[in-house]
Amino acid sequence: MKFSGEKVSAVIARYSEELSWLEALDCPSTVYNKGESPVEGAVVLPNVGRESHTYLTHIVRNYPDFPEFLVFLQGAPFIHMEEGADCAKLNSLIADCIDRNVPFKGFAWFRLVCDRLGRPHQMADPANKGKWAGWGRDIPVGDTYEKLFERTPPEKFIASAATGLFMVRRDRILVRSKNFYEKALGVIESDPGDARNTGHAFERLWQVVFNGSRSINPELG
């Protein structure tokens, strides 16, 4: 089933991934390209802040004119979904969320529970040494939470969108002001090379950002 752009659209954070799978996606998409190889029709962004920078840039630039649902995806989403997942499976998940009016849904095959330092994590996996600037460091989940919400972070976080693949309803985005997302974008941009793993921290905080609670927004109270 094809959905209109007023109902749902996708935001794609691409570096060098092959995107032919988008032809089978049942909704319109906006591709943001941070890699050196061009993509026709893509919005070019500097290669900073991982996919979190891409997502927040889209929100800030389009606030408050969103479709009923937004889908946020990395350029190669299926490796983080259940075994054998493909665009047909992704379309089915999107359609199910729309049918049930789900406010927030992570698409990874797993959820994780972590502490304020993102533990347990695999940031020191020898196989990944040198792949990113923050290799070997903890993930500043608690510190990033405190910067965003100006309150003491909880001891534990349940991350339901840990791989940066999720779908969120428009009203959940609009609970927080444009200024909030600009602030969040600034937090990401303060660590452009992700040397402190701030981008990884956002992967563990999306369910908090879009949880609909006004009480943890310092602007709105």
Q: Contact, 137 vs 156, CB < 8 A?
A: no
The answer to the question of residue 220 being in a domain is: no
Sort residue 119 into left (φ over 0), alpha (ψ -120 to 50) or beta: beta
Q: Which helix (DSSP H) or strand (DSSP E) does residue 201 occupy?
A: helix 198-203
Burial of 102 (0-12, 13-18, 19+ CB in 10 A): middle
The answer to the question of residue 89 being in a domain is: yes
The 10s digit of each residue's pLDDT in 180-197 is: 999 999 999 999 999 999
pTM for this entry:
0.96
What is the total count of domains within the chain?
1
The answer to the question of residue 1 being in a domain is: no
pLDDT at 79: 94
The answer to the question of residue 219 being in a domain is: no
pLDDT at 221: 58
The answer to the question of residue 2 being in a domain is: no
The answer to the question of residue 73 being in a domain is: yes
pLDDT at 191: 96
The 10s digit of each residue's pLDDT in 105-161 is: 999 988 899 999 999 999 889 988 888 889 999 999 999 999 999 999 999 999 999
Q: Which long-range contacts (CB under 8 A, 24 or more apart) does 75-78 make?
A: 75/12, 75/13, 75/14, 75/15, 75/16, 75/17, 75/19, 76/17, 76/18, 77/107, 77/165, 78/21
The answer to the question of residue 221 being in a domain is: no
Q: Which helix (DSSP H) or strand (DSSP E) does residue 51 occupy?
A: helix 50-62
The answer to the question of residue 50 being in a domain is: yes
Q: Which domain holds residue 197?
A: 8-213
The 3-state secondary structure of 202-217 reads HHCCHHHHCCCCHHHC
Report d(CA 120, CA 146) in Å as an integer. Answer: 20
